[in-house]
Amino acid sequence: MRKDFVELFNQADEIWTPSNYSRKSIVDSGVDFDKVQVVPNGVDPQLFKPNGDSYVIPTKKKFKFLFIGGTIFRKGIDVLLHAFTHTFSDQDDVCLFIKDMGGDTFYKGQTAREKIELIKNKPNMPEIHYYDEYMTEEQIANLYRSCDVFVSPYRGEGFSLPTLEAMACGLPVIVTDGGATDDFVDEEVGWKIPAEKRSIGTTMGDMEFAGEAFVLEPDLNALNDLIRDLYLN
């Protein structure tokens, strides 16, 4: 947490955060633990459900992996792209659909769009669909139902609402072990990628943290093996 936020948070009567992981991060930064309460996010079950319309993905590939979120370092988009392009080729009956979010707002100027386009133009690359235009919640729900597995190899999340939405639409999920999704993802609904804590220091740009900050670094080889096994079986 930012150092200047700790004093501000300690002045509040109560802090609400959506996961036990984020609660621990806040408390570890120096905020009074009695003030920090977990209030999980939720989804609309009338919209995000297994039965309903599907989004038409322009592909002939049978097996579809899905990523929804900002294409930034914290979300692990680089991990996913590396795993997908080193595990599969254009000869495999598989594709990856990436729905970028926040590129014009809170993640402005931070997207991986150019990197993804470069990858797509290389020979023998597996099929990747990148979409960054606005979609309604109904369209997003349709997109979940059009795919086979949702994957989010994140380094840091406060909750990961797309993971919960995907599950509500009937998709099994792949997420990073040890993070915020531990609150609602177990072996009955998905798979966890082993991860190790990775220090990112005490500052980021002109922002000073309350102490040494860490992210989770997903095991790339484990993710490679997992997506290959899911595709084959």
Tens of pLDDT, residues 44-100: 999 999 999 999 999 999 999 999 999 999 999 999 999 999 999 999 999 999 999
**C-beta atoms surrounding 33 within 10 Å:** 11
Q: Which pLDDT belongs to residue 103?
A: 67
Q: Which pLDDT belongs to residue 106?
A: 67
Can you read off the two tokens belonging to residue 101? Answer: 């979010």
Can you read off the two tokens belonging to residue 36? Answer: 């920090």
The SS3 call for residue 196 is: strand
The whole-angstrom separation of Cα 167 and Cα 159 is: 14
| Helices 220-232, 77-87: crossing angle, 10 deg rounding | 50
Residue 37 has pLDDT above 80, yes or no: yes
Confidence band (pLDDT; 50, 70, 90) for 204? confident
Q: Specify the long-range contacts of residues 201-205, CB closer than 8 Å, at least 24 apart.
A: none
pTM of the model: 0.95
